[in-house]
Amino acid sequence: MPDAPRPPSNASRYLFVLIAGLLIGAVATVMLVRAIHARQDPLPGSLMHVMNAQAQMLRKSRDQNRCGATEVVPRLQAMRLLSNDLDLAFPGLRDDSRFQQHASRFRATLNDALAAPPQDCVALATLNEAIGTDCKACHQDFR
């Protein structure tokens, strides 16, 4: 007696459903990540990146032995201008006295540096250290 014909395999259907599920899952994940990212405020991170870039340029000026006021003052002015937006960038910390102390100390360091810009590389190194100390103190408390 001849063998009964075997029914066709469902493997191709299962493979199609698996691939479709993976593709739909990947698209849904990308959409979810973009939705979460769109809800985040870019100001705090952007402000910190720009201030860090300015501080790095000050350190680079010191490393390149270009420590005159013409090199340093524009960086200090930019940092001082950016420091005015610290309260705006971190509204949840606006009423925190420690945050206000750190922000005020940072602004005072920049104000003092602008009032009497460093004239040599030793003074610029000291200023870079003071700025770094101010930043580190705040980041230790609030990062």
All residues at 6 or more sequence positions from 68 whose CB lies less than 8 Å from its CB, including other chains: 119
pTM: 0.74
Q: What's residue 1's pLDDT?
A: 57
pLDDT per residue as tens, the chain (143 positions): 567 777 777 888 899 999 999 999 999 999 999 999 888 888 999 999 999 999 999 999 999 999 888 999 999 999 999 999 999 999 989 899 999 999 999 999 999 999 999 989 999 999 999 999 999 999 999 87
Handedness of CA 66, 69, 75, 79 (dihedral sign): positive
Q: Is 107 exposed, middle or buried (0-12, 13-18, 19+ CB in 10 A)?
A: middle
Say how far apart CA 64 and CA 66 lie, in whole Å: 5
Handedness of CA 84, 113, 96, 142 (dihedral sign): positive
Q: Is 68 exposed, middle or buried (0-12, 13-18, 19+ CB in 10 A)?
A: middle
Tokens of 105: 């100390």
All residues at 6 or more sequence positions from 114 whose CB lies less than 8 Å from its CB, including other chains: 73, 76, 77, 80
CA atoms within 13 A on the CB side of 63: 6
